[in-house]
Structure 1
């Protein structure tokens, strides 16, 4: 085998390794943003609120630039079951998204999973609660009267 043929074979191997690494970096890795969790919605007098609409937002700030949102309703006992939220991130995103996140938001950078429930009622009551890893389940959200409401 000539030196030129050996060099060509070596270059082909390098190209194949680079292509292989690029393909591996595109493999998506599943991530749980939040597990299934339950919130009991109560009014300012501690009575369960049935059939009230709540907004659930979620995002894994380390890896996602945009999260999700969904409106849910409480059941007859005031319970809202927030489903498990999952996403998948390619390996290259797991490496570069936190860097881009930090560079683009600076001092306001946020990392990790966030799942939030926001409730407002026609009676000018409002409340917000967050899922934090390790929280007890179910969580109770007691709404407060909004004094600035003109209702």
Structure 2
């Protein structure tokens, strides 16, 4: 089963600035870059491994991380919390998709070599209202017995 998990919102826009995206959503990003700016490391230095500028504005929400919790058997606690945060922004997300894209990233850490999880119907309905595609990854445990 999925133990810890993370979820975040990514917005790319060809016409809006980071501040315009923030104002529309009513949220501040924790990572961002304006179209044409040099890609920066998290520490604020230019990323020399990526010598090209951002091709569009990039806005990313703070990643919500949830450690294993006995009350969450689904593996999607972080996604559920992110959806709670984004529900009031559904119309703004639709507007942002007119000239860009909105993506939810989810990843989970499995306690075995299988990445089992439960994506509950109510959460699926709520994500569908947001209109964001979900990109996901499950990280499998390398310590599990092969046997």
Larger CA Rg, structure 1 vs 2: 1
Q: Which has the higher contact order (CA 8 A, sep 6+)?
A: 2
TM range (shorter): 0.3 to 0.5
**TM-score of the superposition, structure 2-length normalised?**
0.33
